[in-house]
Amino acid sequence: MAIAIGVGVVGFVIYKRTLGAAPEVEQTTVTLTYPYQAYTVLNATGYVVAQRKASVASKATGRLEWLGVAEGTRVMKGQIIARLESQDVAATRDQAAANVNVARANLEQAKAEQQDAQRQLKRTEDLLAQNFVSPAAFDAAVARADKSRAAVGSAQAAVVAAEANRRVAGVGVEQTVIRAPFDGVVLTKNANVGDTITPFSSALDTKGAVVTMADMSTLEVEADVSESNLQKVKVGQPCEIELDAIPDARFQGSVSRMVPTVDRSKATVTTKISFLELDPRILPDMSAKVAFLSEPVPPEQRAPRPAVNPAAIVERAGQTVVFVVRDRRVSAMPVQTGSRIGDVVELKQGPQPGDKVVLRPPSKLKDGMLVQVANQ
């Protein structure tokens, strides 16, 4: 028992002489900072959207018979992506095609009768000149020729009408075929084989659209800008776009247009920011942060740089140093500073991003000392 008490006393004395007497300090983290923050005049949040997006459906109503795409499928303009059952309209089309053949046969028959009537009229005219037939017989031949001519005209009109009916029936069949309206990617599949598609109705257990697709080459960011900050934004202004899903990358953009109306409920104006270069990792509905810049960022300033709060940098023995905290012990590390970027200072040489350093080091803090971190 006495031994245990002695060990405890010794431990307490060691604690008081080391950590218990250690100064209390605050710490901050070395971060990666993008130089464009020095050019930022306004920040806004928004979402990635496709300028060209469509819910694709058929114009006809029917049961979905075949679906040839899934989510993520790339399609070309005019490509068949689905079909509805079409036996009834296909039969109507075949019937219309048969009616065209009947009308053409009737036209040929009418032409044959017209030729016969014309020959009969010519013979009657010659016989009348020789007084071999009466004028009444000649008049009857003339009437027959006129009637045959009218019959040919009627048969020709019937052919035109039959061909029009065939085209109408063909359109009906075509409306059961669902094609991609533009080049793009299928985002969602809204119907399955066997579902009833009714694009112009909201009947129970029916589907309006078969798929939703978007043209990925038209992706842009929609951001809401407060009406009080509109003077800071203009069309053509350079921007830097950060996507929450791709935190290690920054994308260049520019303001393409601004919606000429204010949202009353939010007092904001929707601003469209286009990507200068698209990345295949960018997807619709990703959340985005947009930095509106006063000028374009030079290429050499696009890479992130280590930076730290300037209050962590002090002078010790003629050197510019920061105190790096590791296992509650500090070590003085010389640094070489660069330009100021917003509220932080670039570190050209020194600790790495993620390292913890002492914020506002006290003058009594020395290399190798134990410290107590106040903000832990």
Look at residue 224 in the predicted model and tell me its pLDDT. Answer: 95
Whether the per-residue pLDDT at 19 is higher than 50: the answer is no
| Mean pLDDT, rounded, for 11-31 | 66
Judge whether 266 lies within some domain.
yes
Both 72 and 130 in a single domain? no
Both 185 and 322 in a single domain? no
Judge whether 14 lies within some domain.
no
Look at residue 83 in the predicted model and tell me its pLDDT. Answer: 94
Phi, psi of 184 (to 5 degrees): 180, -165
Residue 297, domain extent: 37-51+216-301
Judge whether 134 lies within some domain.
yes
Find which of 37-41, 116-120, 127-131, 338-342 is predicted with most confidence, using mean pLDDT: 116-120
272: helix, strand or coil: strand
Measured CA to CA in angstroms, residue 142 lies from 14, 118, 135, 146, 340 at distances of 137, 8, 11, 6, 106
Judge whether 1 lies within some domain.
no
Place of tokens 């052919």: 159
Judge whether 341 lies within some domain.
yes
Sign of the four-CA dihedral 155, 156, 159, 164: negative
Both 335 and 318 in a single domain? yes
Look at residue 232 in the predicted model and tell me its pLDDT. Answer: 93
Look at residue 21 in the predicted model and tell me its pLDDT. Answer: 60
Look at residue 65 in the predicted model and tell me its pLDDT. Answer: 93
Instruction: Evaluate whether 141 touches 124 at the Cβ level (below 8 Å).
Output: yes
218: helix, strand or coil: helix
Both 192 and 267 in a single domain? no
Look at residue 12 in the predicted model and tell me its pLDDT. Answer: 46
Look at residue 34 in the predicted model and tell me its pLDDT. Answer: 80
Judge whether 321 lies within some domain.
yes
Look at the pTM and tell me if it is higher than 0.85: no
Which one is predicted more confidently, 16 or 102? Answer: 102
Look at residue 7 in the predicted model and tell me its pLDDT. Answer: 47
In angstroms, rounded to a whole number, what is the distance separating the alpha carbons of residues 116 and 122?
Answer: 10
Residue type, 22: A
Taking all residues of the chain, what is their mean pLDDT, rounded to a whole number?
88
Both 240 and 264 in a single domain? yes
Both 62 and 197 in a single domain? yes
Phi, psi of 265 (to 5 degrees): -70, -30
Residue 375: pLDDT band (50, 70, 90) is low
Both 283 and 144 in a single domain? no
pLDDT tens per residue, range 304-313: 889 999 999 9
Judge whether 3 lies within some domain.
no
**Cα-to-chain-centroid distance, residue 43:** 22
- Start-to-end CA distance of the chain, whole Å, equals 36
| Mean pLDDT, rounded, for 67-82 | 94
Both 333 and 365 in a single domain? yes
Measured CA to CA in angstroms, residue 274 lies from 53, 152, 162, 251, 293 at distances of 16, 63, 52, 10, 14
| Mean pLDDT, rounded, for 15-41 | 75
Total domain count, the chain: 4
Both 242 and 137 in a single domain? no
pLDDT tens per residue, range 177-230: 999 999 999 999 998 998 888 877 655 566 788 999 999 999 999 999 999 999
Give the CATH number of the domain where residue 273 resides.
2.40.30.170
Residue 279: pLDDT band (50, 70, 90) is very high
Place of tokens 């260049």: 252
Angle of helix 135-174 relative to helix 87-129, nearest 10 degrees, comes to 160
Look at residue 372 in the predicted model and tell me its pLDDT. Answer: 87
Q: Which of 268, 283, 301 marks a domain boundary?
A: 301
Look at residue 52 in the predicted model and tell me its pLDDT. Answer: 94
Q: Which of 145, 174, 203 marks a domain boundary?
A: 174
Both 169 and 96 in a single domain? yes
Both 152 and 280 in a single domain? no
Give the CATH number of the domain where residue 187 resides.
2.40.50.100
In angstroms, rounded to a whole number, what is the distance separating the alpha carbons of residues 53 and 148?
Answer: 58
Residue type, 97: A
Judge whether 8 lies within some domain.
no
Q: Which of 163, 193, 214 marks a domain boundary?
A: 214
pLDDT tens per residue, range 93-150: 999 999 999 999 999 999 999 999 999 989 988 888 888 888 898 889 899 999 999 9
- Count helices and strands (H / E) in the chain: 3, 25
Both 310 and 361 in a single domain? yes
Instruction: Evaluate whether 30 touches 310 at the Cβ level (below 8 Å).
Output: no
